[in-house]
Structure 1
């Protein structure tokens, strides 16, 4: 197998990637600890925040695209959030099978509580 020669910039980026992975894991762990008392994880908080930040209700596939996640993973978490009454599904006038995800009042309160925990 031929060894590919990297540019100095390519080598620097390659050496930075493990640090980015570690940083990501630390951010997720810190987020999990921060919102645990609300019954959330970083993943659930991320999805609730994405729903809250959207200009209008979106289907799961769009939410997944916005956060760069797999639709199936987002669907599983959205279903859990719906079971807990944090989001609900509304009919999508543009697609019969892809319901729109909407925060409930309880979901809005949890997002607000999470953001208050995050501010300090």
Structure 2
């Protein structure tokens, strides 16, 4: 195969992206293990968190957009959460078919329990790291995400 030659910067970014893939898998597996006793997975926990972060009831499509995820995947998980009594659907006065998603009391309690487990886990995980390095990495990830989102928006307009 004939690959286009990468610049040194492109090569470094490729290495970081490959490590991000591995890190993502490890974070999800660790999160799954952490919240399994609560009947959650990382994906379910993330959706509960997105509902709380939204600050007001939103339809699935908006949650998916905010999470940078596929609407159909989020819908499937929200349906499972609803069956387990963690979320409920409310009518949307602005759109008849796009129901709003709200946490139930059980959902709030479950999310709170997950966050009580998360605090010691993340505190231990962060030991030995420098806050400046974490903040720099976050800035780099935000910049890359912004570029990818702009490229996606341009591609969708074409």
* TM beyond 0.5: yes
Higher mean alpha-carbon deviation, 67-76 vs 7-16, is at: 7-16
Higher relative contact order (CA 8 A, sep 6+): 1
Higher mean alpha-carbon deviation, 14-23 vs 2-11, is at: 2-11
Please tell me the root mean square deviation across aligned C-alpha atoms, in Å. 1.1
Return the TM-score normalized by structure 2. Answer: 0.73
Deviation per residue, 1:22-58 (Å, 9 max, x gap) = 1001100110010000000000000011111112111
* CA–CA separation in structure 1 for the residues paired with 2:115 and 2:56: 20
State the SS of the aligned residue for 1:102: strand
Return the TM-score normalized by structure 1. Answer: 0.95
* CA–CA separation in structure 1 for the residues paired with 2:48 and 2:98: 18
* CA–CA separation in structure 2 for the residues paired with 1:34 and 1:81: 18
By percentage of residues, which structure has more helix?
Answer: 2
Runs of 4+ in structure 1 off by over 4 angstroms are none
Aligned positions of 1:1-120 closer than 5 A: 3-120=3-120
Post-superposition shift, 1:5? 2.7
Structure 2 stretches lacking a partner, 5+ long: 121-158
